[in-house]
Amino acid sequence: MASGRTVTDAWRELGLMSPRRLFFAHTRLVLIEADLARDGIGEVVDFLHREPELRRELARVLVSTTDPRLVLDVPNPLDPCPALRIEAIMRERVQSFHFPRLNLADFIRFLENEGADPFAAVIFVQENPTFQDVTFRGLAPEPEHNIVIRGTAVFRGAHLAGFLDEGETRGLLWLRNEVQSGQLTLSCPGGPDAFVSADILRSRVRVHPWFREREVGFTVLAQVSSRLTEVGGPLDVADPEVMAMLEAEQAAVVQCEIERAFHRSRELRSDFFGLGETFRRRFPREWRELKDEWREVHLPRVQLEVRVESRIERTGVLFGPHFLRPNQTIYPVDGGKVGAR
């Protein structure tokens, strides 16, 4: 650890502690403490943008809500290099898509864009419930803390504006057309505690801006295809009516995630979707009139219409209802939903 009046001073001070020359091309992560992000990261980004050795397409940007030293000090016998371990966690995000993977080049590009704001994944440490301060047969003990990457830190200009939870984060990724896998949990009409799990196979999202009577709006057209991985209730998924009901529920979940993230964008006055840039490409003349007051005046009043085309293409190797007993039947209940009797 080193400190200085500027980033360059701290870097030179750090070089005095290392027996070898510090090489920027090896940088894989840029961890920004949340308190620093709130005060502004202009000086940090200026230094990172000017450095010729830094490979900005490879370096990932994260915001740490805990002391970054704790994040880097978490031991792991399988991957002793902290940067590579964190990079591996981000690489496996296809299992959830609950945090973004943004490199430094894109972060700087969003920061310089008048119609977009940058964002980054949130990283922190939490207590390890399996931690024991003992060793067994020479094996290394479990670490006291675990590294967690979850949610999104969103900026307004160079200042941290707030955070998105997991659902809002995936809404952000839906609208940016970056969700190609992951899981969706759907409500199952077989009971209040019954759910259906679906694995996203592919998706496509298009955003169309419009401008009428000085009102700005966007129409979002989303296409989502998935396969069932678990049915937690007595549903006959071979029944077309049941599948249509589940597809409607899937569309509602995707629409809700997009709208939650959009409302958060208006609340924070942070255009992390890049809607301003999308509007600028379609209406460059009108954008010149709106850009100076885009975040403070126009973004909170933007209208958003979300249309989702949902399909469930596969049901897995089990085609019939697993929970349906021989004396049970499937019948429609209130609102066209389906239950068991």
CA distance 216 to 304: 9
Element (H, E) at 288: helix 284-290
Per residue in 119-160, pLDDT tens? Answer: 999 999 888 776 666 655 555 566 777 888 999 999 999 999
Q: Which two tokens stand for residue 263?
A: 């409302």
Average pLDDT rounded to a whole number, residues 34-49: 91
- The model's confidence at residue 239, banded by pLDDT at 50, 70 and 90, is confident
Average pLDDT score, the chain:
84
pLDDT in tens, 240-283: 888 899 999 999 999 999 999 999 999 999 999 999 999 999 99
175: left (phi over 0), alpha (psi -120 to 50) or beta: alpha
**Mean pLDDT within 208-215:** 91
Q: Please check the confidence at residue 37 and state whether its pLDDT lies above 90.
A: yes
Q: What confidence score (pLDDT) does residue 93 get?
A: 67
pLDDT of residue 341: 38
**Nearest-5° angle of CA 272, CA 225, CA 199?**
85
pTM: 0.85
Residues 61-67, mean pLDDT to the nearest whole number: 92
What share of the chain has pLDDT > 90, as a percent?
Answer: 49
| Domains of the chain, each with CATH number or no CATH | 1-164 (no CATH), 168-341 (3.30.300.210)
